[in-house]
Structure formats: C-alpha cells, structure tokens
C-alpha cells in the first residue's frame, strides 16, 4: 500500500499474520476465505508484494473481525475513499493529473504538503504528519524501477500562490517542479493565467492507464472522492483532459515559466 507509511504497512501485515495464526488458518485456507491464492498471501506476508486495500478487506472478511484492519489503514494512513485510486495509481503505466488550485500530491515537497494538510481543521497534528509521510512515500512510484509516464497540467495560479509564510515554501516547491519536469518520464505543463476561463476550472481530476490498457479516472471534492471506471464517464474525463492539455503551454515553455516563477518567489 504505497499511501501508508512503511512502518504502518508492516504493522498491519504483521497483525494479519498473527490473527491468521491465532485462528489456526494456513496461508492456503486464509487465502481461500480472503479471495487470494496462497502464493499471494505468502508474498504479502513476506513483504515481496504490496499490501492493497483489497487484500486488507479480504483479510477482514476471512477473519470476521468487523473491518478492523481497514479501519486501521484509514485511521493512520489515508482516507478509505482514496485507497482504490492509489491501487490504480501504483500499477499505472501512464498517469495524467490536472490541478487548477494546488500542486499534485505526487509532485509536492514535504513543507508544501504539510501546509496544505494543515488547512483541514479536523486533522490533529499527528494525523497531519502521518499523511505527510504517506504522501512522501507515495511519490516513490516516480523514481522506482517501473516508473509510469507522468503528465501534469497545472494552472499558473497554483504556482503563483502567495501569503504569509508561503514565500520560501513556494520557492522550494517550484524548484522541485522544475527538477521533476526535467526528467524524461515527467511532463509538467502550465496553463497561463491569460488563458481565461476553461473547462478545467470546474475541478481537479486524474486518469490512470493500467498495464492491460484500461483507463480509470479519479475525481475529488470537498467531502471525498470517487474512482471513475464506467466507459462513458472515463471518455468524458479524457475529453476534458484533451481540452485542458490544449490550453497549456508546451513542455519547454512551461519549464521556462516555472523558472521565472521560482525567481519571483525568491530564496527561502
């Protein structure tokens, strides 16, 4: 589970393994009840295969524990509504993100992520730190061996945001965007403020293409988010992607604009 910090993921796997043993279940019998093969169970327990929300839900079913492990993952890792998307994100060969107001989580630096998460008043300080750690861990997909092609379209307003205490954070954040945008598999495109109104201003969205060639989308709102997998709805998101991508500057011009904005924000 890429969204859950390593120690938490290892803790949940360890607790599942102990609960399986206490129930007198072999990996094979546990797998049958959870909906996974014995080899899959062995790989998860041996940390050679990622822990996913589907596996956690299967473990809860097999152990009849009322959803204990899913609650643990949600409480100390990431909201449950986001977990299915993270499974799609982690296995994607192509990722497309559009953000009109913020920097996408996969491109955020730690200080920026912490500042954004602190705007959620219901989160405690510990929960903010847990989610920052989770977000930083999630970014490993962009530097691992199976790196997806990653394309992000941002509105210029997102990179020019200012305010008390934001100057140094935004300078660091935009410098990171420049560094990431120079990588061959990462493309960052900026929609200039002068472009005026466009369809993307209605909200952020993302698209992920699996190794089987299947696209799924993700929509966020103030209360949560949804994975979009119906063909007609995915097609609508793909059409909107083409629209916002066409509003954005080419890759090199976008990097030049990022560098100009970086100098505007000044030193940390």
216/86 Cα distance (integer angstroms): 11
Tell me the pLDDT band of 8, cut-offs 50, 70 and 90.
low
At 153, which helix (H) or strand (E)? Answer: strand 149-155
Give pLDDT, residue 3: 41
Burial class (CB in 10 A: 0-12, 13-18, 19+), 81: middle
Q: Quick check: 223 pLDDT over 60?
A: no
Q: What are the tens digits of pLDDT across the range 143-185?
A: 888 899 999 999 999 998 877 667 789 999 999 999 999 999 9
User: Over the Cα atoms of the chain, what is R_g?
Assistant: 20
For the chain, domains (ranges, CATH) are 6-76 (1.10.260.40), 80-265 (3.30.870)
Q: Quick check: 4 pLDDT over 60?
A: no
Give pLDDT, residue 1: 37
Question: CA 247, 253, 257 angle in degrees (round to 5)?
Answer: 95
Q: Answer whether 0.75 is exceeded by the pTM.
A: no
Tell me the pLDDT band of 82, cut-offs 50, 70 and 90.
low
Percent of the chain with pLDDT over 70: 89
Whole-angstrom CA distances from 228 to 154, 196, 231 are 21, 28, 9
Residue whose C-alpha is closest to residue 151's, from 209, 96, 104, 204: 96
Percent of the chain with pLDDT over 90: 49
Alpha carbon 130 to its chain centroid, in Å, reads 14
125/243 Cα distance (integer angstroms): 39
């Amino acid at each position: 589970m890429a969204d859950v910090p390593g120690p938490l993921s290892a803790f949940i796997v360890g607790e599942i393994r102990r609960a399986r043993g206490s129930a007198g279940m072999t990996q094979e019998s546990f797998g049958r009840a959870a909906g996974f093969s014995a080899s899959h169970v062995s790989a998860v327990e041996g940390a050679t295969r990622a822990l996913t929300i589907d596996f956690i839900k299967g473990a809860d079913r097999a152990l009849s524990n009322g959803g204990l492990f899913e609650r643990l993952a949600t409480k100390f890792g990431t909201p449950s509504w986001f977990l299915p998307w993270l499974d799609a994100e982690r296995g994607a060969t192509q990722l497309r993100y559009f953000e009109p107001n913020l920097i996408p989580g996969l491109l955020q630096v730690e200080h920026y992520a912490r500042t954004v998460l602190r705007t959620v008043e219901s989160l405690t300080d510990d929960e903010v730190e847990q989610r920052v750690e989770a977000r930083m861990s999630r970014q490993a997909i962009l530097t691992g061996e199976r790196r997806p092609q990653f394309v992000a379209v941002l509105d210029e307003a997102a990179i020019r945001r200012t305010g008390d205490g934001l100057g140094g954070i935004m300078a660091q954040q935009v410098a990171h965007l420049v560094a990431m945008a120079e990588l061959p598999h990462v493309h960052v495109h900026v929609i200039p403020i002068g472009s005026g109104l466009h369809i993307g201003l209605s909200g952020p969205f993302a698209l992920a293409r699996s190794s089987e060639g299947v696209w799924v989308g993700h929509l966020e709102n103030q209360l949560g988010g949804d994975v979009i997998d119906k063909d007609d709805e995915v097609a609508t998101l793909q059409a909107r992607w083409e629209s916002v991508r066409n509003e954005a500057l080419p890759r090199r011009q976008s990097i030049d604009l990022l560098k100009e904005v970086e100098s505007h924000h000044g030193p940390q």
